[in-house]
Structure 1
Amino acid sequence: MRAVRTALFGRRARRRWIHLILGGALAMPYVFVGSVIIGPLIGDDHVLGSLTAQLSSFAVGLPLAAVTALFPLTRPMSVAAVRALCGVPDDALAEGPARSRAARGRTAAWFALHLGFGGVISGMSLALPPFAAVLIALPFFSALRDSRLGMPAAFGEPWVLALSPLIGVASLVALAACAAVAGGLLAHWAPRLLGPTPADRLADAERRAADLAVRNRLARELHDSVGHALSAVTLQASAARRVLDQDPEFVREALAAIEDTTRRTVGELDAVLGVLREADGARSTAPAPSLAADLDGLLRRTRAGGLRVSATVGMDPAALPPLVSREAYRIVQEALSNALRHGGDSCVTLRITPAGPDLTVTAENPLPAHSPATRPGGGHGLRGIADRARLLGGAAEAGPAAGVWRLTVRLPLMPPKGHA
């Protein structure tokens, strides 16, 4: 009994009832248009006074509603109402306007069903409660019996009067049952008619892929810029502390390098966060670092941390394409950062040379004597380098070779179209 009461009058049933009433309200303009068409056909100017004329107007209005449902905003409006009132899971419904002819057709069918069921239930909701109230009160008020209110003569019989309250209550229960069934049918059909089509699923997958690409790009940029700066500043401060009393000139150089590194990193961080601001229409004005703009500065700041860097550059960095110059800078930065973290004060040999249609970046440093070549749980920087190279159509290799740790990256000087 409790399950029946919940099914007919529970919170979900009441919300679906409201959804049906909303459909009835939306149906009214189409019914009025239908009455304008039906009136001349039946020769009656008072269409709304005849039940048959009303039903005919309703039948004419529903196809008109289906036609107007082809407008783009119909599906988002219907989906919002279903989510709020019908208890349908969010992932079972599509986002945005219908993109295909089939999706628009299903939206039109849904809109007609919603307005059709809603119009019937709304009419019953307006007519049955007053009728049921009269039936329930009929045995107890003689004025109601005397007025008859257009009721059949049988309602004057004693046995009918005795049953009229039960009939009134039964009519209210029947109304609730009709509303529950109609609401349940709409909730059952909603995923089929308003659910995502293959085109919607493809568009959603593309959005997720784009979001993931932005997140990966942010992760790489933060790892390379901020991670390198923190490693460099830590080693520079450590080196300055060790020789604080013996070599004041080196300490001054280290402090200057720390100041320069942190200042540049703040600018780079602003550029990275500008990727987030682009979603709001605001772009950062801080330029991304590149080999052409800052290779010498990167080498100078790295050497100030105690790492000996032997660099060979086989071309003018300013002649590189901007995209290749930016990505190569980050790759060199990560290679030097790894050497700072794991190589101590060893020497790094860096070569940046053209090789046919590619730019080759090679970094070598001696393997540490007492520490692993890779950190447990680490390797994010190497993955970032590989990602950068792959996105430009190149490749990256890293690993121990003949007593040294060697990183070799190949970047096409003409990246694939679509990268910027």
Structure 2
Amino acid sequence: MPAPLLSLQTLVRPLVRAVTYTRWLHLLIGAIVPLAGGLIYPGLSDPTVLDWLVAAALPVPLVAAVALLPSARRAEGLQARLMLFPGKHARVRGGQDADGAATGISATPSASWTDRGRTALWLVFRMEAGLAAWLLSIWLLQVALVLAGVSVEEPVVGSLTPPGTSTALAPLPLLVLLALVVAGGRLETRVARRLLGPSVKERMTALEDRTERLLERNRIARELHDSLGHALTLAVVQAGAARAAGDPAFTDRALATIEETGRAALEDLERVLLLLRETGTRRPSGAGPGLDEAGRLLDSARSSGARVDAEITGPVEELPGPVSREAYRMLQEALTNALRHAGPVPVDVRVTADASRLRLLVTNPLPDGRPPAVPGSGSGLRGIRERAALLGGEAKAGVTDGAWRVAVVLPLR
């Protein structure tokens, strides 16, 4: 596209956007207060420049006092969102425009004196800029009429005398007015973002909410990985063992185990999907199995051919809910890793609970006596470490004395 045509489009594009004129209207509305006050004093009959300055200065204390009301900031924020930005963002939570980009305008009541001060500056700016925009608009229109040969009886400031035959120059003030409309709207939008933008407290709250949502998504992803990964691993191991055994009785037991494991995985999947649908709700205290149901995990691992030697000591049924649920998932992932990477090998499980901490130790021999290429790099082991860290504990995984060991320590207080 030729450069002159591109430049022409750049100049014309703002003039065909509705938001350009809603911004200008929003700016002109600010002139209502000084105009109303000026009619009372000093009066606007044949006003001078000094009269306009007095009309602009007198309402400042009153406007600043209005900003002390917490709701004033909310009202101004909603107006700014609606009239200064394109799209339907005013009806979308969080102040998002049609393109999904944040408008940067807060619509919450003032929560501090800093918020009130910024609101006061905004109201004073809007009033003074609105009066200036109103005066310039009227003056430029009057100049255009004078240049076209039309007599103006009451000019907004001073006197306007037709300079003779100058009709060809009549469109010039109108072009200046259009440029002023575009520039004034953009200036007001920039000032609105600075003075009506979120406070430090609001930004911190938004950051905390976003962090909480990300943690919740990460937790749900771990739930799906652990539950479905365990079910699929058991199904694959059981199917392979049944095919290799060629025993109808063993095949029946394997199919029963696959059915039971798949049913439990579906229940977990439905529970996680319910959490995804119920946005903004906390996780129920009884959601998900706890360590007191570890027998189900151990039995499913044994049914796949693994020889599981388990010892659980201490009051695991009295563990705090979050510790019990997360320890269950850690044990599930440790058993899944053993079956996936080592096959049906002997697995030693030791769970010890006392008054201050919970210890979980899962040990299995390495396949062919060889350690993994990158120990501890799987997403499952990373999930175990993340779960332990969130509870203030510690998890380690690696080769110890020729065996693969997953060790977890979780504090109970």
TM bucket (normalised to shorter chain) is 0.7 to 0.9
Identify the match of residue 215 of structure 1 among 214, 217, 227: 217
Q: Is the 8 A contact 2:77 2:107 kept in 1?
A: yes
**Residue number in structure 2 paired with 1:21:** 25
**Residue number in structure 2 paired with 1:106:** 118
How far apart, in 1, do the equivalents of 2:45 and 2:9 lie?
A: 37
**Residue number in structure 1 paired with 2:97:** none
Q: Secondary structure at the match of 1:84?
A: coil
2:25 partner letter: I
The answer as to 2:172 corresponding to 1:162 is no
Identify the match of residue 129 of structure 1 among 141, 149, 155: 141
How far apart, in 1, do the equivalents of 2:283 and 2:357 lie?
A: 31
How far apart, in 2, do the equivalents of 1:282 and 1:204 lie?
A: 18
How far apart, in 2, do the equivalents of 1:361 and 1:199 lie?
A: 41
1:249 partner letter: A
Instruction: Spell out the pairing of 1:22-171 with structure 2 (5 A cutoff).
Output: 22-28=26-32, 30-31=33-34, 34=37, 39=40, 51=47, 59-61=57-59, 63-70=61-68, 71-73=72-74, 74-79=76-81, 81-84=83-86, 93-97=104-108, 98-125=110-137, 128-129=140-141, 132-133=144-145, 135-136=147-148, 138=149, 148=151, 150=153, 155=162, 160-166=163-169, 168-171=170-173
CA separation of 1:366/1:216 partners in 2, compared to 1, >3 Å: closer, same or farther?
same
CA separation of 1:412/1:376 partners in 2, compared to 1, >3 Å: closer, same or farther?
closer
CA separation of 1:375/1:257 partners in 2, compared to 1, >3 Å: closer, same or farther?
farther
How far apart, in 1, do the equivalents of 2:160 and 2:28 lie?
A: 33
Q: Is the 8 A contact 2:73 2:196 kept in 1?
A: no
How far apart, in 2, do the equivalents of 1:192 and 1:201 lie?
A: 14
Report the Cα offset of residue 51 of structure 1.
4.5
Report the Cα offset of residue 401 of structure 1.
0.8
Q: Secondary structure at the match of 1:350?
A: strand
Q: Secondary structure at the match of 1:312?
A: strand
CA separation of 1:304/1:240 partners in 2, compared to 1, >3 Å: closer, same or farther?
same
Long gaps (5+) in structure 2: 88-99
Report the Cα offset of residue 91 of structure 1.
6.3
**Residue number in structure 2 paired with 1:312:** 311
**Matched residues, number:** 387
CA separation of 1:375/1:286 partners in 2, compared to 1, >3 Å: closer, same or farther?
farther
1:289 partner letter: P
Q: Which region of structure 1 is more displaced relative to structure 2, 370-379 or 213-222? A: 370-379
- Structure showing the higher helix proportion among its residues: 1
**Residue number in structure 2 paired with 1:260:** 260
Q: Secondary structure at the match of 2:360?
A: strand
Sequence identity (%): 36
Q: Secondary structure at the match of 2:86?
A: helix
How far apart, in 1, do the equivalents of 2:212 and 2:34 lie?
A: 46
How far apart, in 2, do the equivalents of 1:12 and 1:368 lie?
A: 72
Deviations 1:198-241 (A, max 9, x none): 43443333233222211221122111111111111121222222
RMSD value, Cα = 3.7
Deviations 1:287-321 (A, max 9, x none): 311122x2111111121222221111112432222
CA separation of 1:300/1:27 partners in 2, compared to 1, >3 Å: closer, same or farther?
farther
Q: Is the 8 A contact 1:309 1:349 kept in 2?
A: yes
**Residue number in structure 2 paired with 1:417:** none
How far apart, in 2, do the equivalents of 1:402 and 1:281 lie?
A: 46
**Residue number in structure 1 paired with 2:346:** 347
Identify the match of residue 226 of structure 1 among 217, 221, 228: 228
1:257 partner letter: T
1:267 partner letter: E
Q: Which region of structure 1 is more displaced relative to structure 2, 268-277 or 194-203? A: 194-203
How far apart, in 2, do the equivalents of 1:153 and 1:340 lie?
A: 93
